[in-house]
Amino acid sequence: MAKLTLDEWIARLKKNKSFNANASAVVDLPARPGEWEDYPSWVNPRLRDALVGRGITRLYRHQAQAVRFIRGGRDVVLVTPTASGKTLCYNLPVLQSILDEPETRALYMFPTKALAQDQMHEAHSLITDLQADIKTFTYDGDTPDDARRAIRRQGHIVVTNPDMLHAGILPHHTKWQKLFMNLKYVVIDELHIYRGIFGSHFANVIRRLVRICRFYGADPVFICCSATVANPREHAEKILERPVALLDKSGAPAAAKTFVLYNPPIVNRELGIRQSALTPTRKIASDLIDNSIQTIVFATSRLSVEVLTKYLKDKFVKSKPFDDHFVTGYRGGYLPNLRRDIESGLRSREVMGVISTNALELGIDIGNLEACIMAGYPGSIASTWQQAGRAGRRSGHSLAILIARSNPLDQFIMENPDYFFALSPEHCRINPDNLLILLHHIKSAAFELPFEKGEKFGGENLEEFLQYLEEKGVLHRTDDRWHWAAESYPADEVSLRAINPENVVVVDTTDAGSHKIIAEVDWDSAFTAVHDDAIYLLASEQYHVDKLDLERKKAYVRKVDTDYYTDAMTYTNVRVIDSFDNRREGGTIVEHGEVQVVRKVVGYKKIKFYTSENLGYGDVTLPEKDMHTTSYWFTIPRDRLRSLAFTPAEIIDGLSALAYTIRHLSAMFLMADIHDIDRSLGDKSGEWFVSQGKTGRVITTFSAGRPQAASGADAVRIDEFDPTIFIFDAYPGGIGFSELLYREHDNLLSAAKSLIEKCPCAYGCPSCVGPTLEVGKTAKEIVPKIIDLVLNK
Amino acid sequence: MKSIDKLKRLTGEATAPPQAEPAKPVCAASKKQEQLGDLRRRIETVVARAAERSRTAQEEARRRGDRGLRDLLEGEEVENDCGRFFLKSASLSGASRHGYRNLREISDPDMTAAGTLADDPSIGKCRFSDALFLDTETTGLSGGTGTMAFLIGLGWFEKGDFQVRQILARDFGEEAAALACLADIARQKKFLITFNGKAFDVNLLAARFILNRLPDALAELPHLDLLHPARRLLGHRLDNCRLATLEADILGVRREGDIPGWEIPQRYFDWLRRRDPRLLYNIFEHNRLDVVSMASLTAHLADILTAQTLRQHAHPDDYLAAAGLLLKRTHPAGAQKILDLFREDACSEFSLTSKKKLAQLYKRTGRLEDAAVLWRQMADCGAAGFYPVSELAKYLEHRAKRAAEAAALVENALAAGAFSEKEKESLEHRLKRLLRKAI
């Protein structure tokens, strides 16, 4: 059979009936012509010649504009698509500046080591063409000790990551005197990655960087690049704490692209279960590769990458037994050399198919692939466009297919293609003044340089913090200066990326003679994943947890072969401490503020594999966890709910279902991990709350500080309280999500209603209101009615 | 609410506020507010008075502490352009003992040897009295800009006596003055001697100079860091190469009631709060001994290198290590001189390993005859294995041209010794050739 070109392949696809039945959108995005400008006159002729030598005869309009702004000393944030040449926007002014004044230094920051490597190579090859004595190095955890000294003194462009800046560079800034004294430019690429907790930490690292620069008399220009999000400028200004110019009109030509949203067929209408996203992914990918159409597949987990790689290798390597490279996986765990091999294989088209986690999403140069398949929504619209951008980076027609899974986010996108193709609704949120995060960085900053009276750091009253640390004996005050007065190294006490640096290690005791550490579980997950008698799953092996030792931070497990897994049951009780703002809407009171969250794992369910039957229960005794955080909530007066023609138990189920949906949609609006946000249903005083009991939903009272199940099933009485749905930040002190959710209340509820109404399941499913087993059979019917009530429609 | 109170709740230091009280009638609430306001004002007055008292108390404690420090440590407050600090000066007589030797005995080591130890010939051109010994006591060991050297111990020889200066920053605010004093003294000296100073003390002081916006007075000085040569020459017979271990095992210094190094930072933090001079007393003593021991160690290492150390305090392997170092620094004459020590020696007490090392050194310096003596000794005792037999056979065959003797040696060895297959093969091959030559 003759091979099809991509255009022919797409034409055939569009005629395929069964495909069309499941495609929720097929959109042809037209090619867009480019807009160019000549090089500014001040560009050094050598630099211009080197660029022209690489085929860059003119600049795109946005590049020219960026270069002008940066040259003029303005801080900028660039929001342009993949392959629009944003690297040049900073490399050009930086190299020009070094040619003008050889002492000039620049610091480039990328969120991952791999990206830093890639960008260093890019800058390096341009410098080689330039034949100038400009030194560029990466500086990260892998940099050998003997090379570090030279980098600190001689590196014109130092490429690093925020973690290294935080723990390796700033606390040793005196060794970097030369760099800091001459620092003219700081480049922050992939700015949108710095959101939530990571972003809140990052903003504080920037505060520290600026503080150190000030000490050395430097005032660098910040150049940020971001994927398309709703608030790039606001986000950049929040991180940099200064005005930033936004450049978001790309002058780069864009190739035509066909974008398909594909929803796998439903296989069980009752439960709303769809065919796995991996099945169509495998079929489409192998057909594309069969036609010599170079394809990249993005999967959402390492496991999916491995499974898909195995499927595709089985197909292709059989026919080409000597070419192990024809299709290959790519993910974080692969060794750097192997990854470099794969990257160059992609550029040379020796690799025709690659299956990757989001490791290849960011700007690593892999040439221009033709087709991109995303097996599962990558979690944000910004990521989806970045992944889709890996196909057709330079020219020609390209194809992107997003294949949905069964979860609410994926299904929401499938049901609302307009929402996807319109302007990005996703916001980057950070809260640099989260008290715990701020405290960590005030300590680190004090270690780096004593604080002086009247100095500013963050939005809180700094002197209060300094006095607090003085009382703790960490700082010592002399003549209005606060000095670090402890032996520890504060930057090591906090990781920028983890919520809680404490981990529980999982110890396999199957072989009594040699205990092995097989995994690490973060502190918070440990309570639900490795409590006593839990079944812990790792690489499709099952382990029984014999003992969780919280004191030693170890879980002892033993390999077993069971036909069930366990699902922890927790109760969550939320109590309002302080309301920051509220408004009345219809009959509902919408608020946001500070809350106290008490959580406890009370037991677990044993659930049979495949059938999901409930095989029984067990008890767990673990201490409860108490957390203060920020939340958004709304309260529906019981009188209004009573007007609905449902039983109180059904109403409670409906409210729980609504909380489930809103939590998922909130994560989408915020580009947050679903675990960063949690929900609870109760009343505002924290006296009543709803939890999932052994036999169904129960309302529990919270008296004398201990939860007690209200007596019996008839205790489910909606009349007792005004139900309140809480959506809170799952991080002590909050990450700044709740205020935005408070503002977006109406949109959230409308989106929830649309999601539920468009979901093709019969009674509710994990894609809309949650599994029927948990929320009952009437949830899908009642939730839209509750929403109408809330929105007063 | 103050954010710090919120913070305390987040960190679990303060318990959550009490459960929301049920609403009270308005008039009762306002009365209560009034009472509360009154109470708050009274508390504030009391707190303010207490704060005033505690400030004067702090001032008083500081003065008392400084007085105590002068009396207890017999030092003085000194003022320079950068402010005040505390200085303790002492002059140790050349006749006073430090371990096995008195100070005069260690005041004049061979400077070429010192230069070799540092691998910096410029030091060889200096006098020993140009050396500035330096050791700091710090607020931590982690490195980074948050660690301060609060006590800088300095020492040098002057007319046969040993001068010690200990510069103390009684508080963070005195650091600049302390560093300026260090700079003044360093300017009068030509090179530095430290123990692990390259990685630690000098590195740390460089950061402190920058933080205080002062020029780094030590950056340009040639630097002999004793840790590396000490490890090279003496490490083979010590559990570790800490200065305390070297003192005890090599220099014969016994410290009594010495403060363990890890306690020092906390002592200083306690001093900052309590101003009790007794907290610092042991630190000064500890620091002074470190400085003097560095002088003693320098002399000892130089003496090994020049083959002058008293025999009872050195080990044959120390000399071997020294010869190795001299060869590495391309100083064959020095190596020769040490090796000559062994020629006179019976060498019988040597371990086989030492003999092998020595023989290798002889071979490298072209003294094959001397090496051959050792190889023969080793081969004769049988258990030495392949190395001496093969080396000696090569020597006899190519150098001494006594093929028959070599053949006999190899033949006997093959008959008696246990060799690996590979070694056996090599020896048999050699034997065949030797037999051909011999006949």
The domain that contains A547 carries what CATH number? 2.40.240
Q: How much is the pLDDT for A739?
A: 87
Could you tell me if residue A429 is inside a domain? no
- Is residue A389 situated within a structural domain? yes
Question: Is A1 within the bounds of a domain?
Answer: no
Cβ B172–A481 below 8 Å, yes or no? yes
| Whether residues A520 and A660 fall in one domain | no
pLDDT at A715: 47
pLDDT digits (tens, 9 = 90+) for A766-778: 777 876 666 677 8
**Which residue in the block uniquely carries the two structure tokens 């800058």?**
A123
DSSP A136-198: EEE-STTS-HHHHHHHHHH-SEEEE-HHHIIIIIGGGGGGGHHHHHTEEEEEE-SGGGS-HHH
Distance between B34 CA and the closest CA of chain A, angstroms: 23
Residues of chain B with confidence (pLDDT) below 70: 1, 12-33, 309-313, 341-353, 382-384, 439
B428 in helix, strand or coil?
helix
Report the distance separating Cα A52 and Cα A715, nearest Å.
Answer: 78
Contact A529, A507 (CB under 8 A): no
Cα torsion through A720, A726, A730, A734, rounded to 10:
-120
Average pLDDT over residues A16-44: 90
A60: left (phi over 0), alpha (psi -120 to 50) or beta: beta
Question: How confident is the model at residue B22, as a pLDDT?
Answer: 42
User: What band does A365 get if pLDDT is binned at 50, 70 and 90?
Assistant: low
- Of A421, A455, A478, which residue sits at a domain end? A421
Q: Identify the closest residue of chain A to B203 by CA–CA distance.
A: A175
Fill in the amino acid letter for A644.
Answer: L
- Please tell me the predicted confidence (pLDDT) of residue B21: 42
**Which residues from B are below 8 Å from A702, CB to CB?**
none
Among the ranges given (A290-299, A435-444, A677-686, A749-758), the one the predictor scored with the smallest mean pLDDT = A677-686
CATH number of the domain enclosing A386: 3.40.50.300
State the pLDDT at residue A275. Answer: 84
Residue after which a domain boundary falls, among A538, A562, A586: A562
Q: What is the pLDDT of residue A423?
A: 65
Amino acid at site B361:
L
**Nearest residue in B to A481, CA atom:** B173
User: Rounded to whole angstroms, how far apart are CA atoms B166 and B291?
Assistant: 10
Give me the number of domains chain A comprises.
5
Are both A667 and A691 inside the same structural domain?
A: yes
Domain-terminating residue out of A247, A265, A287: A247
Exposure string of A586-609, with b = 16+ CB inside 10 Å and e = fewer, is eebbbbbbbbbbbbbbbbbbbbee
How remote is the C-alpha of A259 from its chain's centroid?
23
Answer whether residue A426 is part of any domain: no
A225 and A260 share a domain?
no
- DSSP-derived 3-state class of residue B371: helix
Token pair for residue B74? 């017999």
Q: Do B172 and A483 touch (CB under 8 A)?
A: yes
Contact A508, A526 (CB under 8 A): no
Task: Tell me the whole-structure pTM to 2 decimals.
Answer: 0.81
**B32 Cβ under 8 Å from any chain A Cβ:** no
Contacts of A594 in chain B (CB under 8 A): 6
The answer to whether A168 and A89 have CB atoms below 8 angstroms apart is: no
Same domain, residue pair A343 and A395? yes
The whole-angstrom separation of Cα A682 and Cα A724 is 5
Cβ neighbours, 10 Å, residue A710: 15
A635 in the same domain as A548 = no
CB A398 within 8 A of CB A370: yes
Tell me, what's the pLDDT at A718?
52
* Alpha-carbon distances of B377 from B359, B369, B382, B384, rounded to whole Å: 11, 13, 9, 9
Residues A580 and A637 in one domain: yes
Secondary structure class of A357 (helix, strand, coil): coil
Instruction: Dump pLDDT digits (tens) for A511-542.
Output: 777 787 777 777 777 887 788 888 877 655 67
Chain B residues near residue A447 by CB distance under 8 angstroms: 144-146
Residue ranges making up the domain that contains A531: 503-562
A-B Cβ pairs (cutoff 8 Å, strict): 98
To probe the interface with B, which of A178, A457, A487, A573 has the most B CB atoms within 10 Å?
Answer: A487
Which candidate, A727, A624, A738, A736, places its Cα nearest to that of A678?
A727
Report phi then psi at A222, rounded to 5. Answer: -100, 130
What pLDDT is stored for residue B382 in this prediction?
A: 64
Q: Which amino acid is at B123?
A: I
Is residue A321 predicted with pLDDT exceeding 60? no
Mean pLDDT, rounded, of chain A? 84
Show residues of chain A in contact with B207, CB under 8 Å: 172, 174-175
Question: Considering the domain boundaries, does residue A498 fall inside one?
Answer: no
Residues A283, A172 share a domain? no
What pLDDT shows up at residue B20?
43
Please report residues of A whose CB lies closer than 8 A to that of B142.
Answer: 487-489
Cβ-nearest to B210 among A177, A464, A473: A177
Cβ atoms B305, B319 nearer than 8 A? no
Q: Does one domain contain both A315 and A403? A: yes
Of A447, A460, A626, the CB nearest to B3: A460
Is residue A151 in some structural domain?
yes
Least confident of A166-170, A201-205, A610-614: A610-614
Which token pair is B61?
A: 């404690």
Contacts of A436 in chain B (CB under 8 A): 7, 10-11
Are A659 and A595 contained in the same domain? yes
How near does any CA of chain B get to the CA of A667, in Å? 24
φ/ψ (deg, to 5) at A54: -95, 10
CA–CA dist A745, B131 (Å, integer): 75
**Do A199 and A296 share a structural domain?**
no
**Domains of chain B by start residue, with CATH:** 65-305 (3.30.420.10), 311-438 (1.25.40.10)
pLDDT surpassing 50 at residue A703: no
CB B124 within 8 A of CB B222: no
CA distance A177 to chain B (A): 8
Tell me the mean pLDDT in the region A556-561: 85
Confirm whether A430 is domain-assigned: no
A222 and A114 both lie in a single domain: yes
> In this structure, are A61 and A208 located in the same domain?
yes
Q: Are A677 and A667 in contact (CB under 8 A)?
A: yes
Q: Please report whether residue A497 resides in a domain.
A: no
The nearest CA of chain B is from the CA of A174 a distance in Å of 5
- Ranked by mean pLDDT, the top range of A179-183, A374-378, B408-412 is A179-183
B141 CB near a chain A CB, below 8 Å?
A: yes
Which residues of chain B have a CB within 8 Å of the CB of A487?
139-142, 265-266
Q: A231 by DSSP, 3-state: which? A: coil
